[in-house]
Amino acid sequence: ATEPLVLGIETSCDETGIGIVRGRTLLSNTIASSMDEHARYGGVVPEVAARAHLEALQPSIEAALAESGVALADIDAVAVTSGPGLAGALMVGVGAAKALAVSLERPLYAVNHLVGHIAADILDDDAEPLEYPTVALLVSGGHTSLLLVRDLTTDVELLGETMDDAAGEAFDKVARLLGLPYPGGPEIDRAAASGDPTAIAFPRGLSRASDMAKHRYDFSFSGLKTAVARWVEQREAAGEPVPVADVAASFREAVVDVLVTKALAACRDHGVPRLLLGGGVIANRRLRDTALERGAAEGVTVRIPPLSLCTDNGAMIAALASELIMSGRQPSTLAFGADSTLPV
């Protein structure tokens, strides 16, 4: 098959992402974020995100076309994230994608956001082609999911996910209770640099033997967040200073430890020597280093696409649709809608 020219639209959370790919080649990847508007609330506000998408879509599409030197009329197909994500935010992208596909008279592909994160890897020029099966760990402010990918277009299995907060959300909430600004991930990272990760033994969620039987690949971070809050409160009540660096380092260690331990357990259980990382939390160097080190010790090759492809973006959505087209998949009918809990 010839290489399709695909425009992808991603609006599942706070990033308005427009990406253009030809086959497996990245042509442009524009991202407009409403993160600054959410900062004063300490987290993403759905209504604010939806309105920001509405405002950012048209200029973002124009910017992506300009960046790639592609004319709108030359686009072969339109792709859009239909879920999972914030309902209102998704709806804006789905509406825009339908309008674009209808007006251009081009096929429209509705795709899953999580599978899109996996497809991001295809656009990484510096890496060897992705081999299957592979285990994928996706960690962001909105999701924490462990998947087994036997085939990108036909066989992606959700092994487990968070039962409460997403990993990035936990970073944001703990940063807040330490008095650090939003988004909390980079702030905790900075504070942790001078701290001792073994200073405080914070809990590893769903890691006890009894939990592992039922929730082997699931995550829980709300207990950890509460443990940090309690620890800080006790120090303050005793009139002692809070060692922010040690708390940040110990908290980060607890999150990283449980993420990497469960991801490598999935690799071992399924006899899969490959682990792909994705999502904005991958910006965390401690997480990358721990995954690489412990992966190497267990014979697991860890793949980490460039950060611009790991955070939410439209290029990964276009890349997934491009794979679907090249594998002969028929386009979606216009009957689909935004589905905030869309399964993989």
81 vs 67: CA distance, rounded Å: 22
Q: Based on CB atoms, which residue is closest to ligand KG4, 29 or 311?
A: 311
Q: Is 113 assigned a ligand-binding role in the annotation?
A: yes
The answer to whether 312 is annotated as binding is yes
Residues 84, 341 contacting (CB under 8 angstroms): yes
Site size for ligand KG4 (CB under 6 A):
21
Size (the chain), residues: 344
Q: Please tell me the distance from the alpha carbon of residue 243 to that of residue 271, in angstroms, as a whole number.
A: 42
Q: Report the Cα 13 to chain-centroid distance in Å.
A: 10
Q: Minimum Å distance from CB 284 to ligand KG4? A: 3
d(CA 15, CA 144): 17
CA 29 to chain centre: 16
183 binds, among ligand KG4, Zn ion, none (CB under 5 to 8 A by kind): ligand KG4
Q: How far is the CB of 220 from Zn ion (least distance, A)?
A: 19
Q: Which C-beta is closer to ligand KG4: that of 75 or that of 137?
A: 137
Measured distance CA(326)–CA(336) in Å, rounded = 22
In this structure, the strands spanning 25-33 and 134-139 are: unpaired
29 is in an annotated binding site: no
Nearer of residues 142 and 205 to ligand KG4, judged by Cβ = 142
Query: Which of Zn ion, ligand KG4, none lies near 251, with the C-beta cut-off 5 to 8 A by kind?
Result: none
Is residue 284 a contact residue for ligand KG4 (CB under 6 A)? yes
- Binder among 177, 244, 283, 326 for ligand KG4 (CB under 6 A): 283
Residue 279 falls in which region: left (phi positive, over 0), alpha (psi -120 to 50) or beta: left
Q: Report helix, strand or coil for 18.
A: strand
Residue 172 binding Zn ion, by CB under 5 A: no
Options 10, 121, 165, 172; binder of ligand KG4; rule CB under 6 A: 172
Binder among 281, 317, 321, 325 for ligand KG4 (CB under 6 A):
281
The rounded distance, in Å, linking the Cα atoms of 278 and 144 is 10
Separation CA 8–CA 93 (nearest Å): 10
Q: Is 141 annotated as a binding residue?
A: yes
Which residues of this chain interact with ligand KG4, rule CB under 6 A?
Answer: 13-14, 140-142, 168-169, 171-172, 183-186, 189, 279-281, 283-284, 311-312
Which residues of this chain interact with Zn ion, rule CB under 5 A?
Answer: 140, 312
Q: Which residues belong to the annotated binding site for substrate?
A: 138-142, 172, 185, 189, 284
Q: Which residues belong to the annotated binding site?
A: 113, 117, 138-142, 172, 185, 189, 284, 312
